[in-house]
Amino acid sequence: MKVLGIDIGGSGIKGAPVDTGTGILLKSRFRLPTPSPAKPEPVAKSVEKIADHFNWKGSLGIGFPGVVRKGTTLTAANIHEDWIGLDAAKYLKKRTERKCCMINDADAAGLAEMAFGAGKNRQGVVLIVTIGTGLGTALFTDGHLLPNCELGHLEMRGADAEWYASDAARKRDKLSWKKWGQRFDQYLQTMEKLIWPDLIILGGGVSKKFQMYKPYLTVKAEVVPAQMRNEAGIVGAAVGACKYGN
């Protein structure tokens, strides 16, 4: 099956046609900067531009930075609050004149990793953490997704964990890889106390630097870098949105 996967992020909106059987992008991805402010109307225009770029008439699988339940966006991270409570799938369908299936963006990345990346054929409890501006999480048990696990918003030191342990925190506080690795390890230790994963997969930009902070991770679970990298959000949105979304 071929689906146009679109990943809506705080800084960019990118998409590409995906073969959902193989996870391969059928064309090079196309990216637009996220409008500021990222209200529904300008974001919808960007989604439509991406679909038009590929002359796409079929379904759109869309990863969204927030909780998505039956097509309605219930939270909005790094995007305008006007999305909260909106039937986004219906809204985008009307604006783009194409079927739109919505899914949480971290869940999308997780689905790509479980289908085609580091989590392929892995059983047990698998936690996927995307490390960037925030901490996105996806949780699987024997390959089954528990949607909308916002575990990056757990409290650490009186604030969201992502404020303390994200890549943005590393840059903001000018931390060495050792100092940041020790911080991030505290976050993973908290995850281990709560859900005891068998495998932890780390995605986002810092996954490319895994060897720089791997020595400072002390959790009992196996920890590995993600394999899908920048394509994970697009592939997962295409593969999973119509299965787990509206």
DSSP line for 115-151: HHSTTTT--SEEEEEEESSSEEEEEEETTEEE----G
Band the pLDDT of 205: cuts 50, 70, 90: confident
Percent of the chain residues past pLDDT 70, beyond the cut: 98
What was the pLDDT predicted at 219? 98
pLDDT of residue 35: 96
Please write the tens of the pLDDT for every residue from 67-101.
999 999 999 988 999 999 999 999 999 999 999 99
Q: Using 50, 70 and 90 to split pLDDT, how confident is the model at 143?
A: very high
- pLDDT score at 246: 59
Q: Is pLDDT of 245 > 60?
A: no
Predicted local confidence at residue 78, as pLDDT: 81
Mean pLDDT of the chain: 95
- Domains of the chain (ranges plus CATH)? 2-107+231-244 (3.30.420.40), 121-227 (3.30.420.40)
Please give the Cα distance from 192 to 20 (Å, whole number). Answer: 32
Q: Is the pTM of this model over 0.75?
A: yes
Query: What ranges make up the beta strands (E) of the chain?
Result: 2-8, 12-19, 24-25, 30-33, 60-64, 68-69, 72-73, 86-87, 100-104, 125-131, 135-141, 144-146, 155-156, 159-160, 199-203, 222-225
**Long-range contacts, 159-166 (Cβ 8 Å, 24+):** 160/134, 161/135, 161/187, 161/190, 162/133, 162/134, 162/135, 165/135, 166/131, 166/132, 166/133, 166/134, 166/135
Residue 243's pLDDT is what?
76
Q: Is the pLDDT of residue 242 over 70?
A: no
Q: What three-state secondary structure class fits 21?
A: coil
Confidence of residue 121 (pLDDT cuts 50, 70, 90): very high
Higher pLDDT: 243 or 239? It is 239
The per-residue pLDDT for range 32-71, each reduced to its tens digit, is: 999 999 999 999 999 999 999 999 999 999 999 999 999 9
Q: Is residue 55 helix, strand or coil?
A: coil
